[in-house]
């Protein structure tokens, strides 16, 4: 595009005489020619953007030497300076008005410091909690609205953020919507805003966009596969897992610290599998389980008092639903003694100076090895969490009435979950299977779908 011919003037308004498309800049920006032939830029900000006006000071135009005799170059440099200068003015104005005080970041620092102290004292997988929550905050902190006063945050900020999370999820898998991540981030933000409520009495913080929940059938073992896994572990232990061992006999089992696939570890895996089977435990429970937490109260009932629970919830008592738990516990307690850690007791716990989560990592390693030996042609990605799903799912399959009120409420509470979760994760899929099986038994096949023998 040809340059516009300039008038022979010493003052030129940039927006009028120069075709510069470099974003927003002041309509009052001009360039002026000094007697030495050097151009300089000048503009007077709008009153609402000028902190001097708000403070009652006299306002003068801002000036900047451009060090050039070329008016076209001077105009370009003037726009660049003007844009930068306006941003600096707005920043000062916002700081003066407290826009960058009482931010989400400020409340994060308060919340994280307090929660860190509490978690460190509880010593419940503190490094993992710290790593996870810092990762969540890192995502939020990249958003501009995390650094402005919290009462300036709008719903549109949340909508844009959720779109970012959804794209990040879909980039990994086109079918993912990032719903779980959205829920986790929403929970953290709400915790921070809860701290802000006392500073902004009467202010109504914006709601979050709705989060669509995706439910899919979780991976679990079928009953025959579960029995095959148990049989494999017994064989790997040389039959010791099923024997009624004394504490001394258990300690004398073959053990190699440099090789996790040893006889005593296979016995520990067997015991851990059945603790899961009878008490529906979460993987994070296993490093903390102690012999003292279990009590045989008679009538084939074993009570497990979980003194360390997920999310520092109230102490939970779990009872076995399957009657053979009583005989299993007698055999297990005989080889473990009267006190101490119940699963892989030779591994130092974190509170004893041991590495974080080594118990769970060892269990998952042994489980993976046992699965590969049980099902050599199956590429299994099952972890201990899938065994909890297995225990819950198979119990509901064998006793369907546990999925119906009021029994479902008792069963959910005993397993440390909710009736809603049981329905969405297990029961609706169990019912679908029952319905389709019933339909196949009742519906007649089409004559034309049958295969005739060739003559």
Residue 268 belongs to some domain of the structure: yes
Q: Is residue 364, in this structure, part of any structural domain at all?
A: yes
Q: Mark whether 160 and 301 lie in a shared domain.
A: no
Helix 223-236 and helix 263-279, axial crossing angle in degrees, nearest 10: 150
Q: Are residues 51 and 87 in the same domain?
A: yes
Residue where one domain finishes, among candidates 75, 96, 117? 96
pLDDT tens-digit series, residues 348-402: 987 777 776 899 999 999 999 999 999 987 766 788 999 999 999 999 999 999 9
- Helices then strands, each counted (H, E), the chain: 16, 7
Tell me, yes or no, whether 90 lies in a domain: yes
Q: What is the CATH number of the domain that holds 310?
A: 1.10.443
- Tell me the three state secondary structure of residue 41: strand
Q: Are residues 402 and 263 in the same domain?
A: yes
- Answer yes or no: do 117 and 60 share one domain: no
Domain final residue, candidates 78, 96, 114: 96
**Quick one: CA torsion of 105, 107, 113, 116, rounded to 10 degrees?**
-90
Bridge-based pairing state of the strands 30-33 and 294-298: unpaired
How many domains are contained in the chain? Answer: 3
The token pair at 167 is 């794209």
Instruction: Note whether 285 and 179 are same-domain residues.
Output: no
Mean pLDDT for all residues in the chain: 89
Band of pLDDT at residue 256, cut at 50, 70 and 90: very high
CA distance 287 to 275: 13
- 186 & 152 share domain: yes
pLDDT of residue 310: 55
Domain annotation covers residue 208: no
Q: Angle of helix 263-279 relative to helix 358-374, nearest 10 degrees?
A: 100
Is 280 part of any domain?
A: yes
Which of 428, 388, 385 is CA-nearest to residue 408?
428
Q: Establish if 5 belongs to a structural domain.
A: no
Residue 453: pLDDT band by 50, 70, 90 thresholds? low
Q: For residue 435, give Cα distances in angstroms to 40, 223, 329, 441, 443.
A: 82, 20, 38, 10, 12
What pLDDT sits at residue 75? 96
Residues 256 and 372 in one domain: yes
Instruction: Report H helices in 70-200.
Output: 71-96, 104-122, 126-141, 155-172, 179-196
Q: Is residue 126 part of a domain?
A: yes
The three-class DSSP label of residue 421 is helix
Question: CA-to-CA distance for 39 and 76, rounded, in angstroms?
Answer: 12
CB 207 within 8 A of CB 189: no
Q: Which two tokens stand for residue 265?
A: 């570890």
Higher pLDDT, 112 or 60: 112
pLDDT of residue 451: 64
Q: How many CA atoms lie within 13 A of 372 on its CB side?
A: 7
Domain assignment of residue 150, given as a range: 104-199
Cβ pair 322, 277 in contact under 8 A? yes
If asked whether residues 231 and 370 sit together in one domain, one would say yes
Q: Could you say which of 96, 123, 147 is where a domain stops?
A: 96
C-alpha closest to that of 10 among 84, 58, 74: 74
Q: Do residue 377 and residue 333 come from a single domain?
A: yes
Shared domain check, 342 and 266: yes
**Are 323 and 417 contained in the same domain?**
yes
What burial letters (b/e) apply to 404-441, b meaning 16+ CB within 10 Å?
A: eeeebeebbebbbbebeebbebbbebbeeeeeeeeeee
Shared domain check, 275 and 369: yes
Specify if 204 maps to a domain: no
Write down the pLDDT at residue 313: 58
Q: Rounded CA gap, 435 and 395, in Å?
A: 19
Give 261-304 pLDDT, tens digit per residue: 999 999 999 999 999 999 999 998 999 999 999 999 999 999 99
């Amino acid at each position: 595009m040809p340059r516009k011919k300039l008038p022979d003037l010493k003052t030129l308004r940039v927006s009028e005489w120069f075709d510069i498309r470099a974003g927003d800049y002041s309509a009052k920006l001009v360039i002026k020619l000094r007697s030495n032939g050097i151009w300089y830029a000048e503009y007077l900000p709008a009153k609402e953007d000028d902190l001097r006006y708000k403070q009652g000071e006299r306002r003068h135009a801002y000036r900047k030497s451009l060090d050039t005799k070329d008016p076209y170059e001077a105009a370009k440099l003037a726009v660049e300076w003007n844009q930068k200068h306006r941003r600096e003015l707005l920043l000062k104005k916002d700081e003066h008005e407290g826009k960058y005080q009482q931010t989400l970041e400020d409340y994060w620092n308060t919340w994280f410091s307090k929660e860190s102290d509490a978690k460190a004292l509880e010593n419940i997988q503190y490094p993992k909690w710290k790593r996870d929550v810092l990762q969540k905050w890192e995502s939020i902190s990249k958003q501009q609205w995390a650094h402005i006063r919290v009462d300036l945050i709008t719903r549109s900020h949340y909508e844009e953020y959720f779109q970012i999370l959804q794209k990040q999820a879909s980039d990994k898998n086109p079918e993912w919507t990032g719903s779980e991540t959205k829920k986790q981030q929403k929970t953290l933000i709400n915790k921070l805003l809860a701290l802000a409520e006392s500073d902004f009495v009467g202010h109504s913080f914006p709601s979050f966009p709705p989060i669509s929940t995706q439910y899919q059938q979780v991976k679990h073992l079928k009953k025959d596969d579960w029995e095959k896994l148990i049989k494999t572990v017994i064989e790997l232990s040389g039959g010791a897992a099923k024997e009624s061992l004394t504490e001394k006999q258990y300690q004398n089992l073959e053990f190699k610290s440099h090789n996790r696939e040893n006889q005593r570890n296979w016995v520990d895996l067997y015991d851990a599998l059945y603790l899961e089977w009878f008490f529906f435990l979460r993987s994070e429970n296993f490093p903390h389980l102690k012999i003292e937490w279990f009590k045989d109260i008679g009538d084939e009932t074993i009570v497990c008092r979980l003194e360390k629970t997920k999310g520092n919830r109230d102490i939970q008592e779990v009872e076995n639903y399957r009657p053979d738990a009583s005989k299993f516990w007698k055999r297990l307690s005989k080889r473990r003694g009267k006190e101490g850690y119940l699963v892989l007791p030779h591994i130092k716990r974190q509170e004893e100076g041991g590495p974080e989560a080594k118990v769970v990592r060892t269990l998952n390693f042994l489980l993976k090895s046992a699965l590969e030996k049980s099902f050599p042609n199956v590429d299994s990605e099952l972890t201990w969490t899938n065994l909890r799903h297995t225990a819950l799912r198979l119990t509901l399959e064998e006793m369907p009435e546990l999925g119906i009120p009021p029994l479902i409420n008792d069963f959910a509470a005993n397993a440390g979950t909710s009736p809603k979760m049981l329905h969405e994760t297990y029961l609706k899929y169990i019912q679908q299977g029952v319905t389709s099986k019933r339909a196949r038994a009742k519906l007649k096949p089409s004559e034309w779908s049958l295969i005739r023998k060739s003559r």
